Amino acid sequence: MVSEAEKAQFFVILKKLSEAVGVSGHEFEVKKVVIEEISDVVDEWRVDSLGNIIALKKGGGNGPKIMISAHMDEIGLMVTHIDKRGFLRFTGVGSWNERILPGQRVIVCAGDVKVRGVIGAKPPHLMTPEEKKQVIEMKKLFIDIGATSSDEVKELGIKVGSIAVLDREVVRLGGTDRVTGKAFDNRVGVTSLIFALKLLSDVEHEAEVYSVFTVQEEIGLKGATVSAFAVKPDVGIAIDVTTANDIPEVDEKDWVTELGKGPAIKVMDKGNISHPKLRELLIKIAEEEKIPYQLEVLPGGATDAAAIMVSREGVPVATISIPCRYIHSPIEVLDLKDAVYASKLLAAFVKKLSKDHIKRFSML
């Protein structure tokens, strides 16, 4: 069961993380929140040269080394040009569906200064009938911050290379356990890992637990690649979102996962196939702990597990996924129960993993 107190505590952390700005390569605000939340539940932590947070919770000695990875970064926008009237042209950081961008409010960051703006486009009443049928390309969009000249923009500290995110608050939907906001990919995974560490704060376990909050996943799993090399884990777990396509206009066979049915234990995505014995261990633990779960086969996408798997001599990996609707949009939707259950599954896995399990992973 997931208690109301657990959901409330989880929501508070998720809201702080989601509303922070953390575009790939610029995860500074998110890192501050993570460090604040984990400092009293891990034995030590450090930030590596790429910006990953690597936190260690020590085990009982001579136990297996687990790397649990949750990426901190979100997709965003980057300024490419400032015209003489103060409009900003931009490109995407990470993978965007361009059809959602026109008409959005944004926050443009210039150091510690945040400037609100809107994404504008050619007005519809000036479009030809053919143009109205088409998705407006990103190169034809611009950000309007209310400036009247390029000098005004520069006085604010905004320049080529400044980053922007969509402007959204995390809120509950209709007083339910469903919540919506931006950057749940993957701030909910980050929150679930933090919450799991809090569940483990007074628990003894054999394993050495390396919780790694990675950077630059959205542009090619960069943070997981270097941190896995440094940690040298015996086993790796990624915690990330997956698509919940349980909505109108999508056939049930294409749903992948559903909200409210528990976290998903990934079988395969475009980046890797979960180690079969590790996957079965997660299933066994979920059933023992009475944690609802789903099995996930995702046609596209990848997680940090794909990078951890091929580190050094190879690492058995699996992914625990949190179902999420409308991924890579400012209105992502998830169920708090699924996310808390993901934390409980992670914590149970840590408590039960032993050296014997690691040996079995390499047996025929």
Strand order in the sheet with 264-268: 44-47, 53-57, 208-214, 65-71, 235-243, 317-324, 264-268, 294-297
Active-site residue identified among 217, 218, 296, 332: 217
Angle ∠(221,363,208) on CA atoms, nearest 5 = 50
Residue 176 in any domain: the answer is no
- pLDDT number for residue 364: 62
User: Do 305 and 322 fall into the same domain?
Assistant: yes
Q: 97 lies in a domain?
A: yes
Write the pLDDT tens digit of every residue in 119-153.
999 888 888 888 888 999 999 999 999 999 999 99
CATH code, domain carrying 10? 3.40.630.10
Answer whether residue 177 is part of any domain. no
Regarding whether 116 and 231 lie in a shared domain, the answer is: no
Q: 257 with 345, same domain? A: yes
- Total count of domains within the chain: 2
Percent of the chain with pLDDT over 70: 99
| DSSP secondary structure string for all residues of 21-43 | --BTT--HHHHHHHHHHHTTTSS
Residue 86's identity, in one-letter code, is G
Residue 279 has a pLDDT of 97
pLDDT by residue (tens digit) across 35-86? 999 999 999 999 999 999 999 999 988 899 999 999 999 999 999 999 999 9
Under DSSP, is residue 347 helix (H, G, I), strand (E, B) or coil? helix
The per-residue pLDDT for 233 is 97
CA angle 304, 38, 344 (to 5 degrees): 65
Residue-range definition of the domain harbouring residue 242: 4-74+182-361
Whether residues 143 and 220 share a domain: the answer is no
Residues 190 and 288 in one domain: yes
- Residue ranges of the chain with per-residue pLDDT less than 70: 364
Looking at residue 315, its amino acid is V
We report the CATH number of the domain holding residue 101 as 2.40.30.40
Tokens of 95: 């993978």
- Residue 169: active-site member: no
Question: How far apart are the C-alpha atoms of 292 and 160, rounded to whole Å?
Answer: 47
38 and 105 inside one domain: no
Do both 228 and 95 map to the same domain? no
Measured between alpha carbons, how far is 113 from 347 in angstroms, rounded to an integer?
38
Same domain? 354 vs 334: yes
Q: Are residues 334 and 243 in the same domain?
A: yes
Sort strands 142-144 and 76-82 into parallel, antiparallel or unpaired: unpaired
